[in-house]
Each structure stands twice: as C-alpha cells, then as structure tokens.
Structure 1
Amino acid sequence: MKVLLYSEGKKLFSKSGVGRALKHQMIALEKVGVAYTTDEEDNYDLAHINTIGPGGEKVLKKSRKSGLPVIYHTHTTFEDFRNSFMFSNSLAPLIKRRIKRLYSSADFLISPSEYTRDLVRGYGVNLPIKVISNGVDNEKFTRNAFLAESFRKQYGIEGPLVISVGLPFSRKGVVDFCDIAADKPDIRFFWFGAKITSLLPAKIKKLLNHPPKNVIFPGFVPQETIMGAYSACDAFFFPSYEENEGIVVLEALSMEAPILIRDIPVYRGWMRSEENCLKGRDNRELSFLLDRLVADKKLAGKLTSTGKETALERDLSIIGQKLKNTYLEVLEKR
C-alpha cells in the first residue's frame, strides 16, 4: 500500500494548521511503516487530500478516473474560513458550496474532531466519516529548561510570560488577546505566527504594527524558539472563536504549558476545565482566569500534569495506526 498525501500551496500552508497536519501525517505513517508520496505524479494506491483548492480537485478527479479511492480530510469548514483573510466572509458561502461538492465526491472522510464531523454532516455530506486527531509529536514537543532559559534571556523576560501561537486572524482571537494584554502591563505577551500582511484586513494590520506596549508579534520563528516559549511561559492563552481541533493546543499540552482557552464546542469532551486547562466564556472571564493561572503555580502544575496525559493519548504513533487502519478499510471496500 502506497498513499498520496496531498496538500497544495505548500509554501503558504506550511505556516498554517493544514501544513502542520500534513507534516504530522507524514511522521505518523513513517512510525507505522506505511509508504507514502507527496508527489501527485507518482504512483499510489489511495489519495488522502488535505486541501480544497484547484490542485486538490484535480487529484480527486484524476484518482476517481483511475479507479483509485479518495479520502478527503475535512480541515476546511465554512465556520473556520470566516474572519480570517481579507474578503473571507464574502467568500465563505461559496467555499461552503465547494466544500460540500468536493467532500461528497470522495469515498471516505476523516475529521480532526467530533465537532468538525458534525459540521460536515450539517452541510448534507453523507459519506462515512472517521474522527482522527491531527495528533502531536510527544517525542519532539517536550518541556525543555535550556530552551526556556534561552528564550527568556533572548527577550529579556524576568516576570510573567503569556504566549499564543497561530495566524493572527480575528477568528483566532488576536484582537481579544491584545485587549486583555493591555490591561496587564506587568505581564509580557507574545503572539507567534506568520503575519502574511498582504492578506490580512486593515484592522489586523494596524494591530500588528501598533500593538499594546507589552505585546510582541515576532512573526514566523524557528521551532526551537516556539518550544522555548512553550517551556518558559506561565500561560498559553488561546482565545480562538473557532477551531477544527487546534494543533497548537495539542503542542501546548505536550510541552506542559498551562492552558487557557475560550469555551467553544470543539473542546468539549477532551479539554476539561480545571483538569487539563481553564476555559472562559468571554473576555472578562478569560482575563480573570489568566490572572488566576499566572498567580497559582499549584493549579498550573495540576493542569500541565493532566494535560500531558491528554497529549500522550494523541501521540503520532497512535494516529499513524488509526490512519493505516482507515486506509486498509477503504481499500478493502473497493
């Protein structure tokens, strides 16, 4: 069995969750000995498509014409497309129709969470769907005291540190992050993620250029820097309004960073407030909980210990086996 793992726009998507998901699939399959290619011109037995652009549609049509089964990974939804790039809200209804058409044309679907599966079902897509987490590389994302010290030294940080990771979209809560930070001048706030300013709305560009004095946007940085920040932070604060899983949340769990997230449907069932994270419903509550998390080291220790267990349940070796079983199931039905 040889699988095509397909994602288009690799340069752009490499800095996004979809790009990380593709990399995770590659590592996961290597761990369980499944051969794969990322070249659509190569020979393969099954196509696993991650994106909904013209390249993904071309692979879909080519595979169907050749009688090869197609699995579509439902990373993209109408809900998470909104409030991202310029004109995303205007384009979202068109994207929803495209999503429904492409996903319905596959043989099988994989969703990164039960929430995303239910969204896709709500679009009227009636194919079989299996929920498989994007997973996390627990071997790599391990708390590192040396990297933590190096990060704090690099940026001259002595007091409390709060971080977030992701593209600086309104949907991700970047405005809320800055609003809450502005009320806490004694805490340093960092938001890591490619800025891609040519695609961002004017409001977000202005925020990136003129953030509160205690907020830094370093942009896209080497992974070692991110790992240093995860290891050094007093809180990983991710106020996103919409996610299909949240790979950065999985990384924070694995790095044993104390986590504060917005209470949104995607986390129900696996991110449990007061056990492996804290959850807030609105900015007022999030601000209160952030102060609590930074001040209470005993609470932070409890959350990170349980959080690491959550990450281990989603290790890429486990994800690889689930992907392998799914591929074999789809091939057997052809």
Structure 2
Amino acid sequence: MKIALFTETFLPKVDGIVTRLTKTVTHLVRAGDEVLLFCPEGAPDTFMGARVIGVPALPLPLYPELKLALPRPLVAEALDAFKPDLVHVVNPAVLGLGGIWLARTRGVPLVASYHTHLPKYLEHYGMGMFEPLLWELLKAAHNQAALNLCTSSAMVEELSQHGIQHTALWQRGVDTDLFRPEWRNPAMRRKLAGAHGDSDSLLLYVGRLSAEKQIERIRPVLDALPQARLALVGDGPHRQQLEKVFAGSATTFMGYLGGEDLASAYASADAFLFPSSTETLGLVLLEAMAAGCPVVGANRGGIPDIVTDGVNGCLYDPDSPASLTAATERLLASTEQRQALRLAARAEAERWGWAGATQQLRRFYSEVVRPPLQLVA
C-alpha cells in the first residue's frame, strides 16, 4: 500500500506524537508499505526507508517549538507523483488541512488521527473562551475523513460527544526492548538527584516543560516529602517559569535525554509523576511502566486506560489539590507494594508492542481503501 502521511510535528522534535510516528513508519515500511511523509522543515530527507518532504514553516507564537507549515505547490506536486492509495493526516491544523483538501479533491481515501487535546490546552494559555470554536473547527476538519483514530477510549467518547464521526481506538504501543527494568543504574540515580544527593524517594517527570502539563503541581509533593528528590527530564517554553516555581527545592532540570539514557532514567527512579490532566494517552507513562517505574497519573483523559489504581500504579484526582501528594505518599509508603506495582506495570506494558499497534493500523487502512461490498436488494 502507498501511504501519504501529513503531520504538524516530526523530527527533530521529541514528543509522544513523534515517537508514535517514527515507530509506525518503521513498521509500515517493514511490512512492505511505501510511505511518503509531509512535515515542517528540519527533518531528514528520509527516515527508515520512507521519503520525507519538509515544508517551510513558522514558529507558533505561544509555543515556538511547534512550527506551522503552510501547504505549497510542491506538496501537491509530490503527492500527485506519489499516487497514494490513502492519505493519513495526524492532528490536522495547517499542513494537515492541506492534506485533507488534497485527498478530498483527488478522491483519495482519508484517515485522520487525534493525538493532542488542543481544546483543553487553551485554558492553560488564557484562551479558554475559544474552546467551543476550536471544537467546531476540529469537527469540520475530522468529519472529512472516513475514519478518525484516537489513542484512548476516553478520547473516542469525547470526540463522539462533540460530533466527530467514524471514530475508532488506535491501540497504544511502547518499545519494551528499550524500556526495561534492567537499565536501573546507581550512577544514573546520582545524576538525576544532582547536587541534592540521592535518597530513597527519587521522583521523575519526563515530557515537555509547558503550561498544559501542570508540572507545578509537583511542588507541594516536594514540600510534603522533604527527603524526596525530583528530576525533570525535557525542555520547553515553560522552563523559566518552572525554575522559579521549584527554586529552593531538591529539583534537577536535566534537559532532554534519549535512547538508553532515557531508559536508564525511567528504570532508576522510585516513582514517575505525571500531573497532566489533558492527555489523550500519555506515552511517557507507558515507557515508565515498561521500565518498571511505578507511576502516579491523573484520573482523567486517556491515563485510566493505562493505569489501574493500586494495581499497576496510582491515580490522583486533578480537581483535588492535595490528591497528587496523597497518591505519591501512598506509592512510596511500602517497599513491598512498590515492588508489586513495578512488576504489574511491566506486565501491562508488555501487552502493547508497536508491531501490534501498526498491524491494527494497517487493518484500518485496508478497511478504508477497500470498503465492504454493499448488498443490492
């Protein structure tokens, strides 16, 4: 099958969407599919056998890490030369809207997928009044597609409630070969603790340092647990504000980590804290679980699809300010319980390999390209 992917974000950016896309492209090519990917400029010309076309882009004012790529004639020319069997737009915003228009005007089957809960992000940037309008725009875009894929059952339900049709669940995936408990390392623990010294309560956050991630909610946890240490892995537009929030606490800003270093960071921590209540999935939670790191996440969005409270992690109520502290204290209270959570977390992650997720995606593609025959009465 010849698949054209349109995405608003790709390499060299690091986030959950890029991880899913890179793993998906890798497995599509391995399965014999031909892939052409359109993304903002800056990515390599090829990736794992797929051709990549970078489109000139401008940084988003409120979030300069994200770039808006405006569709240009070169996009249409490349798509027409490729002659895809299917177009898949990922989080359509600007470039993706061009992909939708090109697919519709050329009669190419169209799939869309929803990965970032943009309407809920608005309130964290002082624009909550625009949420109803954004839902209408998303509905208009997504309802052009024959199939709209979501990464959690909560998002399937929410999109359906807002009038987005033809929704389905695209199962989660995680690299259980890279992220595994064996990477636990005393040297990495010392690096994560930094100048504050190691302790038996090393807390970890991995992800973008941005307003919608609600990372400042971790500060009261540190105030309640004076022996705890926190490592923040990642970077983003909210870093300077967070440095002020966590001033005077035992917090180390690590910047980006990748590959084996990131796997070791997960495996070496005592608890992974993920306060965000805007997640469609929360891929970093799955990575932490694969590495055997007990997790605390919000009982909201896609996270309850992954975390079962008291079984493979702990959930907290994002509407209760003290709940994150209480859940963290509960996780750290018993060494035996923490070990049980580690084992259960790893077992849960082992159910969700990228190969299986891509096999499911290819079945979705086949259904869209070759719809079932209609019986004539």
Q: Same fold (TM over 0.5)?
A: yes
> Aligned ranges for residues 1-334 of structure 1 at < 5 Å?
1-10=1-10, 14-30=13-29, 32-38=31-37, 39=52, 41-42=78-79, 43=82, 44-84=84-124, 86-89=125-128, 91-126=130-165, 128-145=166-183, 148-155=185-192, 156=194, 157-159=197-199, 160-195=201-236, 197=237, 200=238, 205-212=240-247, 213-268=249-304, 270-281=306-317, 282-333=320-371
- For 2:309 and 2:213, the matched residues in 1 are separated by 20
Give the counterpart letter for 1:299 in structure 2: Q
Q: 1:91 to 1:28 in 2, by over 3 A?
A: farther
The aligned counterpart of 2:43 is none
Report the 3-state secondary structure (helix = DSSP H, G, I; strand = E; otherwise coil) of the residue aligned with 1:82. Answer: helix
Moved more, 211-220 or 94-103: 211-220
The equivalent residue for 2:66 is none
Does the C-alpha gap of structure 1 residues 105 and 3 become closer, same or farther in structure 2, counting only changes over 3 Å? Answer: same
TM-score, length-scaled by structure 2: 0.78
Return structure 1 stretches of 4+ with deviation > 6 angstroms. none
Note closer, same or farther for the CA distance 1:92–1:269 as it changes in structure 2 (3 Å cut): closer
Q: Deviations over 1:170-222 (max 9, x none)?
A: 43221111222233221111122222x2xx4xxx7433345142122223233
Following superposition, the deviation at residue 56 of structure 1 comes to: 0.4
Greater RCO structure (CA 8 Å; 6+ sep): 1
Contact 2:314 2:327 in 1 (8 A): yes
> Alpha-carbon deviations, 1:293-328, whole Å to 9, x = none?
224221112112121222122211110110111111
Q: Tell me the distance in 2 between the aligned counterparts of 1:6 and 1:178.
A: 38
Offset of residue 265 of structure 1: 4.6
Residues 73 and 110 in structure 1, CA contact (< 8 A), matched pair in contact too? yes
Partner letter of residue 85 of structure 2? D
Query: In 2, Cα distance between the equivalents of 1:31 and 1:144?
Result: 28
- The separation in 1 between residues aligned to 2:259 and 2:223, in whole angstroms, is 27
**AA in 2 matched with 1:144:** E
Instruction: Please list the CA deviations of residues 47-100 of structure 1 after superposition, one character each: whole Å capped at 9, or x if unmatched.
Output: 11112221101111111212111100011334443345x455355444322211
Residue type at the aligned position of 1:17: G
CA contact (8 A) 1:2 1:46 kept: yes
Is the contact made by 1:103 and 1:109 (CA closer than 8 Å) also made in structure 2?
A: yes
Structure 2 residue matching 1:162: 3-state secondary structure:
strand
For the residues of structure 2 that align with 1:76 and 1:289, how far apart are their CA atoms? 26
Q: Aligned partners of 2:31 and 2:336: how far apart in 1?
A: 38
CA contact (8 A) 1:32 1:320 kept: no
For the 8 Å contact 1:275–1:303, the answer to whether it is kept is yes
Distance 1:21 1:94 in 2: 28
Q: 1:138 to 1:87 in 2, by over 3 A?
A: same
Query: RMSD between aligned alpha carbons?
Result: 2.4
User: Between Structure 1 and Structure 2, which shows a larger proportion of strand residues?
Assistant: 2
Taking structure 1 as the reference length, the TM-score comes to 0.88
- Write the distance in 1 (CA, Å) between the matches of 2:212 and 2:255: 17
Secondary structure in 2 matching 1:182: helix
Q: How many angstroms does 1:331 deviate by? A: 0.6
Identity %: 21
Asked if the contact 1:117–1:131 (Cα under 8 Å) also holds between the matched residues in 2, the reply is yes
Q: Given the superposition, is the C-alpha separation of residues 210 and 262 from structure 1 closer, same or farther in structure 2, using an over 3 Å criterion? A: closer
Evaluate the alpha carbon distance shift between residue 33 and residue 304 of structure 1 in structure 2; reply closer, same or farther with a 3 A threshold. farther
Whether the aligned pair in 1 keeps the contact of 2:216 and 2:245 (CA below 8 Å) is no
